[in-house]
Amino acid sequence: MKNLFLSAAIVLGGLTSFASTTPITNSIIKVISVADDYTEIKLEELPAPIVEALKKAYPDAVITKAYKNEKSEYKLDVTVGDKVGNLFANADGTWIKK
């Protein structure tokens, strides 16, 4: 009789381990890349409103490279101290979030 209870306990214990497995969920991640074709321009070709807006917003910033796309949007490679980053602006000096 003890063997019967022991066998039943082992079988039921084994089944509960299968019931406690976590379900696998599928995750879909969408990656959207903005592929605006920017062409490099000379720093002298930057519109004055962009340069003035940069001096006002980031007085210690130094523009290392400048780019322009077909929509007349500008991409600036900027260095502030030891930090390097990109800024985007319209020709009138308003900043664009990208």
Positive or negative, the CA dihedral 56, 57, 63, 66 is negative
Q: Tell me: the pLDDT tens digits for 61-94?
A: 999 999 999 999 999 999 998 999 999 999 999 9
CA 90 from chain centre, in angstroms, equals 21
Q: Tell me: the pLDDT tens digits for 14-41?
A: 655 555 556 666 667 666 555 568 999 9
* Domains defined for the chain, CATH in brackets: 37-94 (3.10.450)
The whole-number pLDDT of residue 98 equals 79
Identify the band that residue 42 occupies on the pLDDT scale cut at 50, 70 and 90: very high
- pTM of the entire predicted model: 0.62
The whole-number pLDDT of residue 13 equals 61
From residue 94, give the alpha-carbon distance in Å to each of 18, 35, 49, 63, 72.
Answer: 60, 21, 8, 16, 12
d(CA 69, CA 6): 77
The whole-number pLDDT of residue 93 equals 93
